[in-house]
Structure 1
Amino acid sequence: MSRLFAIFLALTASAVMTTAAHADVRVLTSIKPLQLIAAAVQDGIGMPEVLLPPGASPHNYALRPSDVRRVGEVDLLYWIGPDMESFLPRVLATRKLPSVSVQALPGLHLRHFAVDSESHEAADPAEHDHDHQPGSLDAHLWLSSFNARVIAAKMAADLSAADPANAEHYQRNLKAFDDRLDTMDANIKARVAGVAGQPFFVFHEAFDYFEDAYGLKHTGVFSVAAEVQPGAQHVAAMRARLTEVGKTCVFSEPPMRPRLAETLTAGLPVKLAELDGLGGYTPASVQGYEQMMEKLGSDLAGCLESL
């Protein structure tokens, strides 16, 4: 028995929700990566919806009245949790149907943002993303294929309980997803193997799960709190770090490149590129999750190989 099938059976047995047989189970996810996982599980039966539009930040999204109505009406709702979508708890408090904070699922491999052992703060301004406090949960957990398997198993269990007539179909989809992730992991490891030791920088500390899974490690994080403009001393320190490293890549996230990027890299042998950890424009298809993850690996490796 595979580890994923064992998880599926355990979650199915413990699912607490209606067992009325119907194929039209309406699923809503907060963000695109969860929609991509749900699409793999629901393949051939239904298509999950997603709450946030492409390019929207899950950290500070402003719900519209139509969004609030959808949150209240769908049969199953999946979100990362309060460490990611801080705008959702108040709305979910009035929801009557099942909702799942995936960060609370048993069996996940979770990471926390690093804490300096002496000062509990990073001495170097390029060491931490100031929007993610040292010691807090790193909620970008979908960028681990191990965690994607756990999330998919939970979704399959919930859907089987809500739609028992199609339980066998959800189980087959879950097994197919598990098999494809084995292939995906091998593909990404092969793609990034040649750049594993090269330094690179990010504007948002969002990729630690991905880096850990595939033998990568960013050199620094060029970010300040969203509401704070970086001072001249901070910018000078970050430019000094880039100058010290030499040829490298600095990755931002779509849809907007930070204005700070041009100031930081002007006159330096540095390339600016993007990594889309939210898969904002990835089609919601049966293989959408793998496409999002493999594109991350290809975009990262491609920039570093071009130096």
Structure 2
Amino acid sequence: MRLRLLLCVLCWLGTTPALAAENSRVLTTIKPLQQIAAAVMKDIDTPALLMEPGASPHSYALRPSDRRALAEAERIYWIGPELELFLQDLLERQDSAVDLLHLPQMAVRKQQQAHNFQKDEHASHAHGHEHDHGSLDAHIWLSPDNAKVVARYMAEDLASVYPQHVDQLQANLAVFERSLTALDDRLQVRLSPLRDKPYFVFHDGYGYFEDHYGVKPQGIFSLSHEVQPGARHVNQLRQQLQAAGPSCVFTEPQFTPRLVNSLTQGLPVTVGVLDPLGSAIDVGPKGYEHMLEDMSGALADCLEAL
């Protein structure tokens, strides 16, 4: 009897997120978009998340419950096929879906691949996929200015979904913009002295953030968390790190310690973690700000200690 009860509880816990998504009027594909939507929709409704924290938008496989949630949502916010390619055929035929990367007001940049490092056959799968050189950079949410563009669009767009809450949507937008501007000012002050500090990242996913705050990586390591790189490639990258001297190497939650350790062992580097999707950050009205502050803090903490 107890076993059956436990199984029922586990089954219910396992299906709750899908049911929540299916019953939601507003659905976002990645967590940063959900966080921005939550700020705009404060005291009105709660946006749902298609991909659970930790899932990669580059390799996600839709479940039947995901398809139902997408079919039933009144509004779907996604970046676009440059990030969530698996949704392209489905969402480009759906009137309720909004491709945010191509909003007229969005400031976009080109993707810069790690062309300054020689790569072997194991080195072309950064971030679970290979960027086409010169394609649009899809990581738009890492610019506070672009986050405000997204929030403004949502506040206007959701007026048709929640016509009785138009004033509340605009009031929430104003609060979000003021609070984000204040945070941005604080981050500018902290990051400004660190612009010449050397650091390395594992894929070109931080360009919007780096352009906004004036920091720049000394190198981009085009490595995959899915495929262990060859010894020749590791030695090439280790030589780059050794030449840089004391520096920071920023990995991401999906990279295994073995991969990072094989690259940095015995070198004068400090390893940190950057999470551009804010996997462990809350989803409340302050969630986006917490994600931005957490990532900025991880970068600054390491660079300030050099």
> Which moves more between the two structures, 67-76 or 129-138?
129-138
For residue 55 of structure 1, what is the aligned residue in structure 2? 54
Q: 2:270 is paired with a residue of what secondary structure?
A: strand
Flag structure 1 segments of 5+ consecutive residues without an equivalent.
1-23, 116-120
- Runs of 4+, deviation exceeding 4 Å: 126-130, 225-229
Q: Work out whether residues 190 and 300 of structure 2, in 8 Å CA contact, stay in contact via their aligned partners in 1.
A: yes
| Alpha-carbon distance in structure 1 between the residues aligned to 2:258 and 2:266 | 16
- Deviation at 1:229? 4.5
Change (3 A) 1:133 1:170: same
> Which moves more between the two structures, 256-265 or 168-177?
256-265
- Deviation at 1:258? 5.7
Q: Residue deviations 1:247-304, cap 9 Å, x none?
A: 1111111144363211111110111110011011211111111111011111101012
| Alpha-carbon distance in structure 1 between the residues aligned to 2:51 and 2:146 | 21
Alignment of 1:212 onto 2:205: no
Higher helix share: 2
Q: How does 1:212-291 map to 2 (within 5 A)?
A: 212-224=211-223, 229-257=228-256, 259-291=258-290
| Alpha-carbon distance in structure 1 between the residues aligned to 2:233 and 2:303 | 25
| Alpha-carbon distance in structure 2 between the residues aligned to 1:69 and 1:53 | 16
| Alpha-carbon distance in structure 1 between the residues aligned to 2:238 and 2:53 | 31
Number of corresponding residues = 278
> Which moves more between the two structures, 222-231 or 173-182?
222-231
Q: How does 1:95-106 map to 2 (within 5 A)?
A: 95=94, 97-106=95-104
- Deviation at 1:122? 2.0
Alignment of 1:122 onto 2:115: yes
Q: Work out whether residues 27 and 73 of structure 2, in 8 Å CA contact, stay in contact via their aligned partners in 1.
A: yes
Q: Which letter maps to 2:230?
A: G
Alignment of 1:202 onto 2:195: no
Q: 1:47 is paired with a residue of what secondary structure?
A: coil
What percent of counterpart residues are identical? 46
Taking only aligned residues, the RMSD between alpha carbons, in angstroms, comes to 2.2
| Alpha-carbon distance in structure 1 between the residues aligned to 2:225 and 2:87 | 20
| Alpha-carbon distance in structure 1 between the residues aligned to 2:47 and 2:287 | 12
Q: Output the TM-score relative to the length of structure 1.
A: 0.85
For residue 167 of structure 1, what is the aligned residue in structure 2? 166
Q: Residue deviations 1:27-58, cap 9 Å, x none?
A: 10000000000001000111100111111111
Q: Work out whether residues 228 and 259 of structure 2, in 8 Å CA contact, stay in contact via their aligned partners in 1.
A: no
Q: Residue deviations 1:200-241, cap 9 Å, x none?
A: 001121111111111100111112367654333322211110
Change (3 A) 1:94 1:138: closer
Q: Output the TM-score relative to the length of structure 2.
A: 0.85
| Alpha-carbon distance in structure 2 between the residues aligned to 1:159 and 1:256 | 37
| Alpha-carbon distance in structure 2 between the residues aligned to 1:257 and 1:185 | 31
For residue 111 of structure 2, what is the aligned residue in structure 1? 113
Q: 1:38 is paired with a residue of what secondary structure?
A: helix
For residue 137 of structure 1, what is the aligned residue in structure 2? 136
Q: Work out whether residues 58 and 85 of structure 2, in 8 Å CA contact, stay in contact via their aligned partners in 1.
A: yes
